[in-house]
A and B are shown apart, each in its own frame.
Chain A
Amino acid sequence: MKLLKALRLPARDMTDRAGLPKAAVIAIKVVGLLALLVIGVVFPPLISPDTTTTGVAVYALMFAAWATAWNIFSGYTGYIALGHAAFFGTGAYALGILCERWHIGPQLIGTGGGDVSILFLTIPVDYTPFLLVPLAGLIAGLVAVPVGWIALHTRRHTFIVITIAIFFIFQLLAENNVGNLTNGTKGLEFPYPSWVYPFYNFPFYYAMLVILVLALAVSWWVRHSKYGLGLLAIRDDEDRALGLGVRTGPYKLIAYVISAIFAGMLGGVWGYSLGSVFPQSAFDPLNDISLALMAFMGGLGTLSGPIIGALIIEWARLQFNSLSFIENSTSPGGYYLIIYGALFLVVILLLPEGIVPTLRKWWMGLLASREEQGMPADSLELSKQTAPVAVEQAESGEGVNR
């Protein structure tokens, strides 16, 4: 680091806080991401093809994607939307219903579909339901429009409460077989693909991976856009943002719908992977809380936080599953609830910001103390820069307000 300083790097903007050139930091990030992507892609066939691991991986990716999408709304705007599982379930049911009505995908009995040809591609029948996944997401998104519009009328804590209530409405609607669509408590059947284990998990794994990458891309883009800035401003001080011209209503609603679309897509893939869904499983409050937990644990409002949170929780779940007292218990659900609850408490009370921001702060703190100790030359350099700029402006007589 001393060497870099000695080189008298030019304008301060070229280096970030650590004194490393910004270009280098970006390069490292990009390379790292690509590496992760490569690992992600080759994971099932090459690294760990056994069914248990891939099964867990599917769920891990699903939650990671879901948490990332959830973060686009709740993390950036600060409105904690519980009851998000409502859209997940909607997507699941949507996909199942569409497959049934439109005869897509293989069926065990009766009217199944065949291979589908689009342009020059022939998609084998087992994969055709995946084509409907984006549609399932869109349906969930459409549903989210009125729901979000109503919910966002209320202030922050009422909002959370409303989202919970709405979630239960959805569950009830599914149970009551609304519009004769959902088959009530008997559950909805999905097409059964002809794959065998261990391959069975692979397509779902990749589907989830694609959705995750998509969610991450959208999240990144939002974060760096004018729109995202508006969302963050809403989080900090909504009324102030409104007073500065930010269209808070539409901004919030759009973020809500985006996150719902992803939840819907994930629900669709999940439904297909299970083969059948029930009101209790598609609309599972435990999913909801896991989601919030993952996002909070990783760091609300950050890009990597929800993913890290999801991976940690899913890995932890894998470990729990193999603990003997859980394996031997008649109601493992009870243990899960206690552990989730306790974990959540710990995270909220001890690490309210989440892992990623806490780590970042700690890192910044380290750097700050190093700056203080080390380099008086630094401050000289700064003042040398601002002075010429100020002088320049005064000389050119540049006005500020026309």
Chain B
Amino acid sequence: MSMLEVQNASKAFGGIQALDACSITVEQGKITGLIGPNGSGKTTLFNVITGYERLDSGSVSFQGKLITNLTPDRVFRLGIGRTFQLTRIFPRLTVLENMHVAAQRRNAGGVLGRWSSSHEQRRALELLDFVGITRLKDMPAGNLSYGQKKLLEFAFILIAEPQVILLDEPAGGVNPVMIQHLAERIRALNQRGVTFLVVEHNMEFVMGLCDTVMVLHRGTKIAEGTPGEVRNNPAVLEAYLGA
């Protein structure tokens, strides 16, 4: 069953065609990798899926329902979370407060109450523990190291229990131990049924983690398959070398 489907998505910025009739499908329960040379449209694809950019043409569906051009808050509430290449957290709030921002309450009355119920508090601490930064919970998020911020971003997306998580270069700028840590976390969550779409430049990371890999080049998909298949695909090699 496809979790996320992008059909013929096109998006241009001025003279640059970032996405060119791009179609991808993300299968439920899988970890799908998305690779491609710089400028191939990976981040733009993320942006149009999550509502940060409007599509010029084409469509995006989530579990069979159209979600094209919905605003980011609605996309998130539907169950699609994402991280950013340059981690975006709330620097002036503490780590714990960051966690609670994402924990949205359904009813209006809940919004008026205190900002963390004991249930939410527990869940937030659990997640912080899951990524391993519990001891930093009262620190202003702006003071965290780059790697810690990445973990925080990962954690607070989880608090809303998304079904699909889009990770934009999770291993970028992070030390090998942390990369391992992240990969383990992703696998652990995947075991519990979370679908992943991961954009990465770190080939080892992608090949070791993903079930399927898709390759974007100049805004369109040029290859798809298992890591092994993609690695040996001549078109892919040419795209990387030629681009």
Tell me, yes or no, whether A and B come into direct contact in the complex with CB atoms closer than 8 A.
Answer: yes
A226-B110, A232-B92, A241-B101 known; A401-B72 Cβ under 8 A: no
Closest A residue to B87 using CB positions: A240
Chain B CB within 8 A of A393 CB: yes
Known: A228-B115, A230-B101. 20 other contacts (CB 8 A): A224-B115, A225-B113, A225-B114, A226-B110, A226-B115, A227-B111, A229-B101, A230-B111, A232-B90, A233-B101, A236-B93, A237-B90, A243-B51, A243-B82, A244-B104, A244-B160, A245-B102, A247-B73, A382-B135, A393-B126
B62 interfacial by beta-carbon distance below 8 Å: no
C-beta contact mask, A238-267 vs B, less than 8 Å → 1, else 0? 011111111110000000000000000000
| Residues in B whose Cβ lies below 8 Å from that of A389 | 129, 134
| Cβ contact of B73, chosen from A228, A246, A402, cutoff 8 A | A246
Q: Are A226 and B161 in contact (CB under 8 A)?
A: no
* B39 contacts A by Cβ under 8 Å: no
In the complex, whether B85 has a CB less than 8 A from a CB of chain A is no
**Which of B75, B104, B105, B110: most chain A Cβ within 10 A?**
B104
Decide: B129 and A236 in contact? CB cutoff 8 A.
no
Per DSSP, are chain A's interface residues mostly helix, strand or loop, or mixed? Answer: helix
Contact B134 A402 (CB under 8 A): no
A229-B115, A233-B93, A236-B92 given; A243·B192 CB < 8 A: no
Please tell me if the beta carbons of A245 and B76 are within 8 angstroms of each other in the complex.
yes
9 pairs, CB–CB < 8 Å, chain A vs chain B: A227-B111, A230-B111, A232-B90, A241-B101, A244-B102, A245-B160, A247-B73, A399-B192, A402-B161
A225 to chain B, nearest CB (A): 6
Partner of B72, one of A242, A386, A398, A402: A242
**Chain B residues packing against A (C-beta within 8 Å):** 50-52, 71-73, 75-77, 82, 84, 88-93, 97, 100-102, 104-105, 110-116, 126-127, 129-130, 134-135, 156-158, 160-161, 188-189, 192-194
Interfacial chain A residues near B111, Cβ < 8 Å: 225-227, 230
Measured between beta carbons, the chain B residues less than 8 angstroms from A232 are 90, 92-93, 97
User: Which of B76, B91, B101 has most chain A Cβ within 10 Å?
Assistant: B101
What is the bound-complex CA distance between A45 and B77, given in angstroms?
56
